[in-house]
Chains A and B, each alone.
Chain A
Amino acid sequence: MSVRAFSLFFALLTVGADVFVLVALVLAATSRFSEGSASALRWIRDMVGGSSLVLAWIVAAVATLGSLYYSEVAHFLPCKLCWYQRIAMYPLAVVLGIAALRSDHGFRRYVLPVVAIGAGISAYHYQLERFPAQASLACSVDVPCTTVWVWQFHYISIPFMALSAFALIATLLLLGPLPEQDLIEAEPEHTEKEVSR
């Protein structure tokens, strides 16, 4: 496969991730008002819930392999912001795998802050690519963060792929079963697992 084919492949995955995240967000936002949205969200949770850690691990692993493909095979030089995103993404490909093996859904409280930081850096990097003049009016001789290596479907660059991967990992983790003292509001079917004193 050529670099162009790989970029198209990753861009298609990005579109899929974006659609999934957007649908989940819309359903979550409207589930309080619409029974249809609430039942659709429940259906997605039923489908994804138990496998959420495995799915999130697959997303992190594909993102990590994609990043390594771009730097080691396609020889795209990672800039400083790329490295910060790598620092957030690469460990996820390991720790989410361990969490999935142990079905440790509570582990997401450690992972979600890292995912949020990574997504924040990706979002900043993406807008810097879109508006390069804010960084400086010159490209440095080494690797400027404003260089757009990949541009697919009029909106997808490499930082946007990373942003989509972080967003999908966060969505999958939040769709997972509720562990103790969880981050999101408990649903009725989980309340029997909780006792108050």
Chain B
Amino acid sequence: MTRRKVTRARPGAGERKSDRRGRGRSRAGPVLFGLVGALVVAAIIAIVAAGGDDGRESSAPARVTVTGQSLPALPESSDPAVGLPAPTLEGRDFEARPVRIEDDGRPKAIIFLAHWCPHCQREVPLVQDWLDQEGMPAGVDVYSVTTAIDPAQPNYPPDEWLRREGWTPPVLVDDEKGSAANAYGLTGFPFFVFIDAEGNVASRFAGELTIEALQAYLASIEAGAT
């Protein structure tokens, strides 16, 4: 059995400083000086390169009016909202043009998006590619709602993100309280609500949808309308 014993005693008591350092020489000065220098240089580069502006000024607060009864939250199974009348949403888009999502006799899909959510960031180009190729489906209207808007969160502001993605469906901007999201019982992002021609909820879904699944949902509400 080998046992190591270290002759290095506790610091102090007749021991040289260099011995206490254990390496024979103390280089603390230059190393610490170099570290502080690196911190200062990094700070200067960061200040100069980043500038002072975060570009986070928020515009006027959005307002959303909900008419009708709010839907219950989407549970794991057997959605109790199916068949219930979808509440009407009134608000504005990023250009302050009025947007109204109401029972107009046409089946519709509403996609709730959060700018900071990576799943929404993946879903948006997927849907837009499909819309670009196939065009907006003839018998179904597709709306979107940007909700959970937070200037402190990534990928803000959402209007820049959706413009960058070439997003074509109408966008209703939710208010700070998330009135539109709450009215539809949102439980996660992205959140899809499919509404039949009678204005009732046909199905709801939280999470990313493939284009095939989205088409199937749209086809089912479109078929119900004919």
A137 within 8 A of B: yes
Q: A169: shortest Cβ distance to chain B, in Å?
A: 13
**B163 CB contacts on chain A under 8 angstroms:** none
CA distance A54 to B21 in the complex (A): 12
Interface residues in B146-192 by Cβ distance below 8 A to A read 148, 152-154, 186-191
**A3 CB contacts on chain B under 8 angstroms:** 54, 56
**A16 CB contacts on chain B under 8 angstroms:** 38, 42
**B6 CB contacts on chain A under 8 angstroms:** 179-180, 193-194
CA distance A48 to B28 in the complex (A): 7
Interface size class of chain A, counting residues whose CB lies under 8 Å from the partner chain: 35 or more
Contacts A49-B22, A147-B117 given; does A9 touch B35 at CB 8 Å: no
Contacts A141-B187, A193-B6 given; does A12 touch B42 at CB 8 Å: yes
Q: Which residues of A contact B (CB under 8 A)?
A: 1-9, 12-13, 16, 45-51, 54-55, 58, 62, 74-76, 102-103, 105, 129, 132-133, 136-141, 144, 146-151, 176-181, 189, 193-197
Q: Which residues of B contact A (CB under 8 A)?
A: 2-8, 11, 20-28, 30-32, 35, 38-39, 42-43, 45-47, 49-54, 56, 114, 116-120, 122, 148, 152-154, 186-191, 206-208
18 more A-B residue pairs beyond the given contacts A1-B43, A47-B27, with a C-beta to C-beta distance below 8 A: A1-B52, A2-B50, A2-B54, A4-B50, A5-B52, A9-B43, A13-B42, A46-B23, A46-B27, A49-B22, A50-B26, A54-B28, A74-B152, A102-B11, A138-B119, A139-B120, A179-B22, A180-B4
